């Protein structure tokens, strides 16, 4: 069979072995799992409506109860991936691979966890599935970006491939069947960026559906269903259809040597990643100066083009719309001096004092900063006061970026903050201990701590 790029990815995913993974890759897989679980558990507190929808949806089908719904009971692995993906993404606090611009954890963790539990795998096998999913997702994302992002939500589209790879690995599919699973994934990949202004629930449906479709793809392969043998490289395949400037070399460059999971970033703020450098710049200004919001004449956010085209809406009428609005995030930071879950509640995004600053806040494209993206996520914030005084700060790498990472302790503290008030402290500490020593546990050791 022709050694296509799709075939090379399938071979790589099928042959990942725990014993051959670098220690730092294993540790990172644990961190992404812990972070995703914290986001999912926290969704029951931060967005109970969406959490209810996710769990109710998964149990509508009356399916075999093999895999845990986080905070709920059990469902078929595909439906558990659907619900848990929606939960992880609900509060927009989940991780991001910046070059692929994908919330990888909200897609890969649900697929890997659901199938690993159903198959009663040990922790080492779960780690293999997580790594396989992260590598495939991020590489396909890099191959179609940035033009892919004009219309397509990359978590939904590119994530489907990674979820299929993770599920295929957990189902112990060989390279041929993994190739088939990727073929089924590519033909199901979907999800439009229409939600950016409205902040509606399709944003969180996307990772859930891509996780579900990934599990479905692996099951189709295992049951003997055929698919295109080169879904990525075919003239009518994924790269040609989903990008006007595809980069096929990104699929396999450094494969098995340069691990993309290590380029994953973790969020300190529950908002779109594009807002994190502006938030950081704003908070650094406030660290050196006391600013009365009533004295602000204007706020300029000078940054890269994608922020202006995708995340500059000031029509903030929902929690998710607030999370997706860079001007709102900066205005809230200026008024409140911090950004956390409280800043995305209706009483804050409707507060007159924040609205007044929001009205004075504008995003513009800086021609010198824009070419730095996506290696850097640059943003300069300039606050001008009524008396003409200017305060400004520039951030290139937001906190949580691989070049400005959250520490192990900071990741653990983020998890604790996410789950506080949702589950007993003793159980949350058990989850932390189990994840951080996952190689010594089974998947069921972990999932029994996550259910209802």
Per-residue model confidence as pLDDT tens digits over 160-182 = 999 999 999 999 999 999 999 99
Residue 196 has pLDDT above 90, yes or no: no
What digits encode the pLDDT tens for the residues 225-269?
999 999 999 999 999 999 999 999 999 999 999 999 999 999 999
* Average pLDDT of the residues in 400-406: 95
What digits encode the pLDDT tens for the residues 404-414?
999 999 999 99
Confidence band of 354 (pLDDT split at 50, 70, 90): very high
Residue 113 contacts residue 74 (beta carbons within 8 Å): no
- Is 273-395 in CATH node 3.30.56.10? no
* Average pLDDT of the residues in 413-432: 95
pLDDT at residue 62 in the model: 75
Residue 153 has pLDDT above 80, yes or no: yes
pLDDT at residue 198 in the model: 85
Per-position b or e across 302-329, b if 16+ CB within 10 A of its CB: bbbebbbebbbbbebebbbbbbbbbbbb
Task: Report d(CA 39, CA 92) in Å as an integer.
Answer: 8
* Average pLDDT of the residues in 189-206: 93
Q: Beta-carbon neighbour count of residue 195 at 10 Å?
A: 19
Task: Report d(CA 7, CA 285) in Å as an integer.
Answer: 50
Domain boundaries, the chain: 5-267+409-447, 273-395
* Average pLDDT of the residues in 197-211: 94
* Average pLDDT of the residues in 271-289: 97
Residue 102 contacts residue 159 (beta carbons within 8 Å): yes
Confidence band of 452 (pLDDT split at 50, 70, 90): confident
> E strand or H helix at 361, and its extent?
strand 361-365
**Phi and psi based region of residue 172 (left: phi greater than 0; alpha: psi -120 to 50; beta: remaining):** left
Task: Report d(CA 315, CA 92) in Å as an integer.
Answer: 18
pLDDT at residue 1 in the model: 52
As a whole number, the mean pLDDT across the chain is 96
Task: Report d(CA 232, CA 409) in Å as an integer.
Answer: 39
What digits encode the pLDDT tens for the residues 27-84?
999 999 999 999 999 999 999 999 999 999 998 887 788 999 999 999 999 999 999 9
pLDDT at residue 14 in the model: 98
Parallel, antiparallel or unpaired: strands 390-395 and 379-385 = antiparallel
Residue 290 contacts residue 111 (beta carbons within 8 Å): no
Task: Report d(CA 163, CA 165) in Å as an integer.
Answer: 5
Q: And the tokens for 189?
A: 């990949």
> Of the candidates 187, 184, 246, which has an alpha carbon nearest to the alpha carbon of residue 220?
184
Please state which of the ranges 1-10, 28-37, 396-405 shows the lowest mean pLDDT. 1-10
For 67-111, list the strands marked E by DSSP: 67-68, 74-75, 96-97
The fourth-level CATH superfamily of domain 5-267+409-447 is: 2-methylcitrate dehydratase PrpD (1.10.4100.10)
Residues 6+ apart with CB under 8 A from 10: 165, 175, 176, 178, 179, 181, 182
pLDDT at residue 75 in the model: 95
Please list the residues that pair with 379 across neighbouring strands: 303, 395
Residue 111 contacts residue 155 (beta carbons within 8 Å): no
pLDDT at residue 2 in the model: 72
Residue 307 has pLDDT above 60, yes or no: yes
């Amino acid at each position: 069979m022709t050694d296509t790029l799709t075939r090379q990815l399938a071979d790589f995913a099928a042959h990942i072995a725990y014993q051959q993974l670098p220690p730092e890759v294993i540790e990172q897989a644990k961190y992404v799992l812990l972070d995703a679980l914290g986001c999912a558990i926290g969704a029951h507190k931060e967005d109970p409506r969406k959490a209810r929808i996710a769990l109710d949806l998964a149990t509508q089908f009356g399916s075999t109860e093999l895999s845990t719904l986080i905070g709920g009971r059990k469902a078929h692995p595909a439906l558990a991936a659907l619900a848990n993906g929606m939960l992880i993404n609900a509060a927009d606090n989940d991780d991001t691979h910046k070059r692929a611009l994908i919330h990888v954890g909200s897609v890969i963790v649900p697929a890997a966890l659901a199938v690993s539990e159903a198959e009663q795998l040990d922790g080492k096998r779960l780690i293999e599935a997580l790594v396989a999913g992260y590598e495939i997702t991020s590489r396909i994302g890099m191959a179609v970006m940035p033009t892919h992002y004009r219309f397509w939500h990359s978590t939904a589209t590119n994530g489907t491939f990674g979820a299929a790879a993770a599920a295929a690995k957990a189902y112990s599919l060989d390279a041929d069947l993994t190739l088939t699973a990727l073929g089924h994934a590519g033909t199901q990949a979907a999800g439009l960026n229409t939600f950016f202004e409205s902040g509606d629930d399709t944003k969180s449906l996307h990772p859930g559906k891509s996780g579900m479709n990934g599990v479905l793809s692996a099951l189709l392969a295992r049951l003997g269903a055929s698919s295109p043998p080169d879904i990525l490289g075919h003239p009518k395949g994924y790269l040609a259809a989903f990008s006007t400037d595809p980069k096929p070399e990104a699929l396999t460059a450094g494969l098995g040597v340069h691990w993309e999971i290590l380029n994953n970033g973790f969020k300190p703020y529950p908002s779109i990643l594009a807002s994190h450098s502006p938030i950081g710049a704003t908070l650094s200004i406030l660290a050196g100066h006391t600013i009365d919001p009533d004295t602000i004449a204007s706020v300029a956010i000078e940054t890269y083009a994608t922020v202006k085209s995708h995340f500059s809406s000031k029509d903030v009428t929902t929690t998710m719309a607030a999370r997706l609005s860079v001007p709102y995030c900066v205005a809230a930071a200026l008024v409140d001096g911090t950004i956390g879950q409280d800043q995305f509640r209706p009483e804050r995004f409707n507060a007159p004092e924040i609205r007044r600053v929001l009205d004075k806040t504008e995003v513009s494209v800086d021609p010198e900063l824009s070419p730095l993206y996506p290696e850097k996520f640059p943003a300069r914030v300039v606050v001008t006061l009524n008396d003409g005084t200017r305060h400004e700060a520039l951030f290139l790498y937001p906190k949580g970026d691989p070049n400005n990472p959250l520490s192990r302790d900071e990741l653990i503290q983020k998890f604790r903050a996410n789950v506080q008030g949702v589950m007993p402290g003793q159980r949350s500490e058990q989850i932390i201990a189990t994840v951080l020593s996952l190689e010594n546990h089974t998947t069921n050791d972990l999932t029994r701590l996550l259910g209802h």
